Amino acid sequence: MSLRNERVRKTLMKEIADIIQKELKDSRIQGIVSITDIEIAHDNSFAKVYYSVFASDEAKKQTIQAITDNTPKIRYEVGKRIRLRLTPELRFIPDNSLERGANVTEIINKISRGEI
């Protein structure tokens, strides 16, 4: 990945996280939403945005739906904030790796305490 694409990726991560936390006024967004990674096409025309949601199962489903429904608004806000020739098309993909990591850590802690 080129240095320019890496800078665009990091800027997109920061701006999308900020937009979801501060700009979206959707009551379905609950819990903590974390942008875990972004994969950008070499021409910046498309971006896969991986994110995690820390909330109950029902709140997580609502948050995922709210982010999906608000994708055009998020893209519009990104376009206003970042000066690129073409604002990338965004595709949001839920990422459960942080949740799985927390579960593994909890199991290890239980084993070390002798609970398992």
13-65 confidence digits (pLDDT tens): 999 999 999 988 888 998 889 999 999 998 888 999 999 988 888 999 999 99
* Over residues 61-89, mean pLDDT: 92
Instruction: Give the pLDDT confidence score for residue 56 in this predicted structure.
Output: 86
CA–CA separation, 31 and 55 (whole Å)? 5
Instruction: Give the pLDDT confidence score for residue 3 in this predicted structure.
Output: 80
Q: How far is CA 15 from the centre of its chain?
A: 11
DSSP state of 52: E
The tally of domains found in the chain comes to: 1
- The residue segments making up the domain with residue 102 are 3-113
100-109 confidence digits (pLDDT tens): 788 888 889 8
pTM check: above 0.75: yes
Q: What is the CATH number of the domain that holds 31?
A: 3.30.300.20
Closest-CA residue to 52 (of 17, 101, 94)? 94
Q: Say if CB 94 and CB 106 are below 8 A apart.
A: no
